[in-house]
Structure 1
């Protein structure tokens, strides 16, 4: 396993990527090289120095499953992941539902594998136990912390939940972006916000992912479920053999036996997988993305 960092200045054509679908790549697949490494672009995943880094665990397991060396390229944001794939810098990237849907809609990256949703609510908003806020509607006039604009569970789904309750961002409540789930929890803990919206899964994991003990917090509201919770995206120029090697490797890596080691990727390990999902599988995200007012170029 090898690891690199691809700076933003090394990414080409970022401005060309928008929510509007574009013509697909015309790059032709080169013949397969069985000794070539598999390359992955990733944003930072996992901040706990005492735990295994999920992307490094994924890379290790993928090497074991495929017999190929895996190279990890670190990039700063989801948009850079998409651009690295589109520009043929890397083979694949792993993203949650909404960034995946926006990327696939450009027509310039392929969805190799989709991880299906489990039909359960995705997100909630957390308040301190002594907060007067009891319902989603009570968030009117509140300051609400979100993870970031690229987060399915920490932005898209809770914003849609608030929209369904009649509350619009910037009009009925003030939104701040904390740079991640941990940041939104810290803002709530320090009294900087009235609520922090996050994944229900994180509240169930407890420390160190969720810093509040029982009796210190309450959940307010539940968002709808997501049809697709994440996807492995690939460059359209992948040759058929490498594409299959990756897809077979993904099926082996993301199994329930590996869920605990995969950490933040653990939910994908328990999810049914769809190989070569159609672009139409991601259309249910369009309405929610429109409510949030986010396009692909916003995912920084």
Structure 2
């Protein structure tokens, strides 16, 4: 396994993806090279130096499953993952539901595998235990921290949860973007915000992914479930053999026996998988994305 770091590939807002959505220059897939490494773009996952990094575990398991070397390119955010795939810099990336939906709807990346969601709520908003906030409606007039605008569990789903409670961003509460879940937790701990909205899964994982001890925090509200929890996205120029090798490798890697080692990726290990999901399967995100101020149709 080899690892690289790619700086931000440009300021990639949703509008930027929309503008590039019809400018593909990819030709026909090249012939298969059975010795070629599989290249992956990832955002940082797991910061505990005493624990296995989920990205490294994933790469190790994928090497074992496919018999190919794996090269990891670290990028700063989900949108950089999309651009790296779209521009043929890497073969694949793993993303949560909403970034996957936005990426698929550019028409320039393929969903190789989708991890189906379950009926469990995706997100909640966390407050300190001594907070007077008890219900979602109590967030009216408060300051709420979100991870970033491309995060399923840290933005799209909790924003929709607040919307369902009658609270609209910037009108009924102040929203700040902390640059990630860890930033949201830090802002809450330092008293800079009244609540931090995040993934239910992170609150269940505990330290180091979730920094608060029992008795220091409370969960307020639950978002709906997501039809697709995440996806493995691939460049459209992948040759058929490599595409199949990756899909078979993903099925082997994301199996229940690997869930614990995969850490933050562990929830995907228990999820049913769909190979070559159709773009229509991501359409259920449209209403929630519109509430968050993003229209999927604008990205075609």
TM-score band (shorter)? over 0.9
Structure 1 residues 25 and 98, CA gap change in structure 2 (3 angstroms) = farther
Structure 1 stretches of 5 or more lacking a match?
none
1:187-266 correspondence runs (5 A): 187-266=187-266
Question: Matches of 1:19 and 1:279 in 2, distance apart?
Answer: 19
Structure 1 residues 9 and 16, CA gap change in structure 2 (3 angstroms) = closer
1:117-156 correspondence runs (5 A): 117-156=117-156
CA RMSD, aligned part only? 2.0
SS of the residue corresponding to residue 283 of structure 1 reads helix
Superposed CA deviations along residues 32-66 of structure 1, whole A, max 9, x for unmatched, are 11011111111111111111111111111000000
1:1-300 correspondence runs (5 A): 1-9=1-9, 17-18=17-18, 22=22, 27-294=27-294
Superposed CA deviations along residues 200-221 of structure 1, whole A, max 9, x for unmatched, are 1111122222222222221111
Structure 2 stretches of 5 or more lacking a match?
none
TM-score by length of 1: 0.93
Deviation at 1:180, TM superposition (A): 1.4
Deviation at 1:190, TM superposition (A): 1.5
Superposed CA deviations along residues 57-93 of structure 1, whole A, max 9, x for unmatched, are 1111000000001111111221111111111111101
Deviation at 1:97, TM superposition (A): 0.4
Superposed CA deviations along residues 17-45 of structure 1, whole A, max 9, x for unmatched, are 21896477652011111011111111111
Structure 1 residues 195 and 15, CA gap change in structure 2 (3 angstroms) = closer
SS of the residue corresponding to residue 28 of structure 1 reads coil
Structure 1 residues 33 and 110, CA gap change in structure 2 (3 angstroms) = same
Question: Matches of 2:281 and 2:114 in 1, distance apart?
Answer: 9
Report the number of matched residues. 295
Deviation at 1:10, TM superposition (A): 8.3
Structure 1 residues 23 and 9, CA gap change in structure 2 (3 angstroms) = closer
Structure 1 residues 18 and 54, CA gap change in structure 2 (3 angstroms) = same
Of the structure 1 ranges 126-135 and 114-123, higher mean CA displacement relative to structure 2 is found in 126-135
Whether contact under 8 Å (2:37, 2:70) holds in the other structure is yes
Question: Matches of 1:147 and 1:5 in 2, distance apart?
Answer: 22
